[in-house]
Amino acid sequence: MATRSRANGEGSIFPYRNGSFAAYVWVTKPDGKRTRKYVYGKTREETHDKWLTLHQKAKAGPVVTKSLTLGNFAAYWLREIVQPNLAPGTYVTYEVTSRLYIVPGLGKRRLDKLQISDTQTWLNAVRRECQCCAQGKDKRRKPARQRCCALGKCCHEFPSASTIGNIRRVLRTLLTQAITEGHITANPAKNVKVPPARAKKRRAWSSDEARQFLESARADRDPYYAAYVLVLVLGLRKGEMLGVTWPNIDLDAGEVTVDMQLQRVGNQLLHRETKTPTSDDTLPMPEICTVALQERGAAQKTAQEQAGSAWQRTDLVFTTRFGTPIEPRNFNRYWDRRCDLAGVRRITIRDARRTCASLLADLDVHPRVAMQILRHAQFSITMEIYTVVSSAATRAALKKLGESLEHQS
């Protein structure tokens, strides 16, 4: 009598090759089509357990029938999810992190086979590996300019703790999308441990240093004096300041609307909306700002006349002498050069924004107006700043910078 190859109720479990067993379940794929999905096992019991698990998945929702590698899914994720839906700068960050770190290290691994231990071991290895060697940075230089890893002199360019944290963050976001699309059920990067990244201590100028910087720029008729004023007095970010347009400035009302930014993304210079709606606002301008912008408008008109047909018309407040947008990296150089000319400490434009609050106090800007400029949620926070003021000489000098054009000698 023949031996039964299937137990009662198992139906779709059957002998396979070399004494093993196979089974199938009809499933619905993410695209809505129905198909058979197979599972395999060395014994009937093992196959039966896999078969039951697959049945449960099929009842719960769509089931992915084709296993993807992490590299294939990363390419799809960047092309179809990130690039069309997120900010250009975010896409560049994700693409670079994927191309330099994630895909070379984990790209050949199957998504459904990736474990927490795999991710942890890989990240630890990245942390210990010279990235100049791993990415062939020195090898890509011309032979005459090679100076370290290509010559066997490893430069030990190990990634920082913040870089490792960023790699994990991008990988975790990628795998979250894989969960959403049904390729995996858990995120192997979620509980991976990385070293804590120490936040850099931000520096700021005193009111005396800010006043010295602005006086130097005003005295030398620096073409970007008004830009410096907007950064220091209104606390605008570099991109916001470079993206300000004349239609968004009301000199009579003393207001500027901030809703655009100038941003370098890869090989493109984009004039686009600010990162989030909370960044948009209409800010009141102290007199020092309106005077500086009046001077800027006159200087731009003169530049346009001198450029003649070479002038490229835009609405941007801050442009080159031919009317084109200012490259953000070039503005960094202008800022550093002015720091040196003014004889003050070099700090970044981002750090300079931290000086804004003390300058508003020294300019005798009303606390309620300062609260709107600083975008504080609570008035008490603004008043804490206003309890610390500079010397009378510094306050007088700053106010003098804001005198109207009619009163200048």
Band the pLDDT of 376: cuts 50, 70, 90. low
pLDDT at 381: 60
Which residues are paired to 268 by β-bridges?
265
Greater confidence (387 vs 15) lies with 15
Task: Work out the burial of residue 334: count CB atoms within 10 Å of its CB; fewer than 13 is exposed, 13-18 middle, 19 or more buried.
Answer: middle
Q: What is the mean pLDDT of residues 257-279?
A: 80
Whether residue 104 has pLDDT greater than 90: yes
CA distance 182 to 196: 32
Residue 403: its pLDDT value, please?
58
How high does pLDDT run on average in the chain? 84
Q: Taking residues 374-383, what's their average pLDDT?
A: 63
120 confidence band (pLDDT: 50, 70, 90): very high
Helix ranges (DSSP H) in 146-204: 161-180
Over range 90-109, report the average pLDDT: 94
Give the pair of three-digit tokens for residue 128: 């210990």
**What pLDDT is recorded for position 395?**
57
> What is the spatial order of strands in the sheet that 281-284 belongs to?
249-250, 255-258, 281-284
pLDDT tier at 35, thresholds 50, 70, 90? confident
Give the pLDDT confidence score for residue 277 in this predicted structure. 61
- H or E element: which one contains 88? helix 88-97
347-375 confidence digits (pLDDT tens):
999 888 777 777 777 777 776 766 766 66
Distance of CA 302 to the CA centre of its chain: 37
Structure-block tokens of residue 202: 């931000």
Say how far apart CA 138 and CA 156 lie, in whole Å: 12
310 burial class (0-12, 13-18, 19+ CB within 10 angstroms)?
exposed
Per residue in 147-177, pLDDT (tens digit) is 999 888 999 999 999 999 999 999 999 999 9
Q: What does the pLDDT read at residue 275?
A: 67
CA 290/CA 299 separation, integer angstroms = 14
What domains are defined for the chain?
A: 13-60 (no CATH), 70-180 (no CATH), 207-407 (1.10.443.10)
Which neighbouring-strand residues pair with 38?
24
pLDDT of residue 383 exceeding 80: no
Across residues 67-96, what is the average pLDDT? 91
